[in-house]
Amino acid sequence: MPNLRVSEIFYSIQGESTRAGLPCVFVRLTGCPMRCVWCDTAYAFEGGRNLSIEAIIDEARVHPCRMVEITGGEPLAQRDASALITRFLDDGWTVLVETGGGVPIEGVDPRATIVYDIKCPDSGEEGANLWSNLGLLKPEIDEVKLVLASRRDYEWARDLLRARGLAARHAILFSPAHGLLDPRELAGWLLDDGLDARLQLQLHKLLWAPETRGV
C-alpha cells in the first residue's frame, strides 16, 4: 500500500492562488530538494508521519469543505504523491497542487490544478527550474506563481512572461517575499509596466502572525 511522509494536515483559509480567501484543507508533505533563501516552510524538510493514502483522506474528510491543496516542501518529490492526488479527485475533491517546478509534472492527474512556482534568481534556486514543465501546464487551468525578493527578480520575471507569452495562457501570480520586498513597491512596478499579472499577498500572514503554523 502506498505511503507518504506527511508534515501536517490542517484546515484554513486559502492564502494564495486565485482561490485565496476560500476554505481549504492543506496536506503538507515532507521533504524538498530545493533550499530557497526565503523559504517559510523549512520545518517540512524533515520529520513528519508516515501515512497511507486512505489515512490522509480520512483526516481531510473531517473538515467541512472539499477543496484540498497538496503542498510541501516539494510534494511531487514523493513517489506516491500522484496517486494521492488522483485518489482525492476520484473522491470528488477540488485539488490544487503547489509545486516548485524542479521535478517533472507529467504524472499529475490532469483534473488537478497546478500552481507552478517558478524560481527567480534571488531564491538561489533559479538553476533548478525544469523549463520543459511549462509546455505541460494546462492553459486557463494551471497557474504560474513567482515569488519576488527584489527589483532584479521582478525584471527577470517580467521579461520571462513576455518572452514566453505565459500571461496569455495562465493566471500569473506575483508574490513579494515576506519581509524582503515591499508589496507597495511591487504594486507600483506592475502598474508602471501594465503587466498582466496579479499581485498576490499571502493572506494567511495578514490574518495570523507570519510564523504561525497550521494556518
Cα angle value 45/51/56 (rounded, 5°):
100
Half-sphere exposure in the Cβ direction for 78 (13 Å, CA)? 31
Number of domains in the chain: 1
Q: Is the Cβ–Cβ distance between 29 and 7 less than 8 Å? A: yes
In a domain, 215, yes or no: no
Q: What is the mean pLDDT of the chain?
A: 94
pLDDT at 207: 74
Helix (H) or strand (E) holding 112: none
What would the pLDDT profile of 60-99 be if each residue is shown by its tens digit? Answer: 999 999 999 999 999 999 999 999 999 999 999 999 999 9
196 three-state secondary structure: coil
Question: What pLDDT shows up at residue 1?
Answer: 60
- DSSP state at residue 209: -
Any domain includes 212: no
Q: Which domain holds residue 141?
A: 3-207
Question: Which cell numbers in the block locate residue 140?
Answer: 486557463
Strand 143-148 and strand 94-99: pairing? unpaired
* Listed residue (212, 195, 204) closest to 17, CA to CA: 204
Nearest partner of 71 among 34, 100, 111, 105, judged by Cα: 100
The answer to whether 186 touches 200, Cβ cutoff 8 Å, is: no
Q: In this structure, is residue 213 part of a structural domain?
A: no
Q: How far apart are CA 32 and CA 100, in angstroms?
A: 9
- pLDDT digits over 27-72, tens only? 999 999 999 999 988 999 999 999 999 999 999 999 999 999 999 9
DSSP string, 16-81: SSTTTTSEEEEEEES--S---TT-S-GGGGS--EEEEHHHHHHHHHTSS--EEEEESS-GGGSTTH
The answer to whether position 214 is within a domain reads no
pLDDT tier at 202 (50, 70, 90 boundaries)? confident
* CATH number of domain containing 181: 3.20.20.70
Residue 110 lies in a domain: yes
